Amino acid sequence: MMSAQLSARLGRGMAEAAGAAPSLHNTQPWQFAVEGDVMLLYAVPERALSVADPNARALYLSCGAALCNARTAGRELGYDVHMRLLPHPEYSFDVLAVLDAKPGAPPTATEHARYGAIWRRHTNRGTYSDRRIAPSLTARLAQAAVQEHATLERLDPHQTRVVLDLAAEANRQLSADGAHQDELRHWIRDGAPDGIPLWALPMRPLNQPSPVRDDMVGAAAEVSPPVVPYERSPQVFILSTEENEPEDWLQAGLALENVLLIATMNGLSASFLYQLIERDEMYGEGLGVPRRDTPQMVMRLGYAPPAVPTPRRRTESVMRPGAGLRLE
């Protein structure tokens, strides 16, 4: 249990790290509260994407990634964090997880490095080099997904081409959807603690099919990014789960961030081709390639110069006021 004298330090540390997690369009749809001896993760419906994410899959994925960071921060502070996902009916339906932290051993060097990776992990929509990811590192990334009950598959060149072609078609469909573009445009903005700043948008790809989202650039009419060549052979991965229920979405988010932390520790950058999943949520078209499991994220990994971090809400704003935790 969280002891009273450590609850403020531990709760703040976990919430701060959780806030650095990736989320679709940087919506940051989470909120935390300390109630007695546990910490609760709440979904924030007003931060949901009603058009792009009508079933809230992306919201659950984002919150799962935040849980991974919260657990990692607990270990950095010498606590073992145990999570119970979707603890209904004991709690209301907007509570996605209950976290219980108990004193444990000091963090290992690897755990300390994982915690450091939280603050260096940033979505990188820029150009990557053509350097290939070693099979040994690919295996480590796959194992990070397995640890969270998910599967990470690296696509071969033919599969990559198929998926990139499908992503290009999804770009065209979503770019022609007025409601989707309006919602996306709402989250592309400068000077806010959330959303996608204009400077973080991808550049226009010279080569097609593109490994980045073209619909983002189209939604921001006020910018005209340069046209650049992206890598010739993008390295694309698909993260999947066996089932496709809300708990699986949370678990996929945990797996996603677990993979991204290992990737960051090994000098890799990542960006996402989530428009394929969005199209499935909006139109029910599916990923378009035969698979036994359910794809939860399509991502591009590779080597690139460090990305600039996008803004994050202050820790105070992700904690429920009056929840039993004083932030000083």
Rounded Cα gap, residues 149 and 62, in angstroms: 17
Q: Which of 173-177, 265-269, 324-328 has the lowest mean pLDDT?
A: 324-328
Domain 4-121, CATH: 3.40.109.10
Q: What is the tens place of the pLDDT at every residue in 23-46?
A: 999 999 999 998 878 899 999 999
Cα 252 to Cα 83, 239, 290, distances in angstroms: 14, 8, 19
DSSP 8-class letter at 302:
E
- Both tokens of 27, joined, read 């919506």
Contacts of 29 (CB under 8 A, 6+ apart): 23, 43, 44, 47, 48, 59, 62, 63
DSSP 8-class letter at 47:
G
- Strands 235-241 and 294-302, bridge-based pairing: antiparallel
Q: Which of 44-58, 190-204, 243-257 has the lowest mean pLDDT?
A: 190-204
Which residue, chain included where needed, has tokens 């990736």? Answer: 22
Cα 6 to Cα 27, 153, 282, distances in angstroms: 30, 40, 44
CATH fold for domain 135-302: NADH Oxidase (3.40.109)
Which uninterrupted H or E stretch holds 236?
A: strand 235-241
Q: Which of 109-113, 221-225, 258-262, 273-277 has the lowest mean pLDDT?
A: 221-225
DSSP 8-class letter at 295:
E
Which one has a higher pLDDT value, 210 or 2?
210
Q: What is the tens place of the pLDDT at every residue in 289-303?
A: 656 689 999 999 999
AA identity, residue 36: G
Phi, psi of 319 (to 5 degrees): -105, 135
Cα 222 to Cα 196, 201, 210, 217, 219, distances in angstroms: 14, 12, 22, 10, 9
DSSP 8-class letter at 199:
G
Binning pLDDT at 50, 70 and 90, where does residue 5 land? very low
Predicted local distance difference test score (pLDDT) of residue 289: 60
Predicted local distance difference test score (pLDDT) of residue 204: 87
Fold match flag (4-121 vs 135-302): yes
- Both tokens of 123, joined, read 């979505």
| Domain boundaries, given as residue ranges, for the chain | 4-121, 135-302
AA identity, residue 11: G
- Is 317 buried (19+), middle (13-18) or exposed (0-12) by CB count in 10 A? middle
- Is 237 buried (19+), middle (13-18) or exposed (0-12) by CB count in 10 A? buried
pTM tops 0.75: yes
Q: What is the tens place of the pLDDT at every residue in 119-145?
A: 999 999 999 999 999 999 999 999 999
Predicted local distance difference test score (pLDDT) of residue 290: 58
Q: Do 259 and 239 meet the contact criterion of CB atoms below 8 Å apart?
A: yes
Contacts of 75 (CB under 8 A, 6+ apart): 81, 104, 107, 111, 114, 115
Please say whether the dihedral angle defined by the alpha carbons of residues 134, 139, 144 and 146, taken in this order, is positive or negative: positive
Predicted local distance difference test score (pLDDT) of residue 150: 97
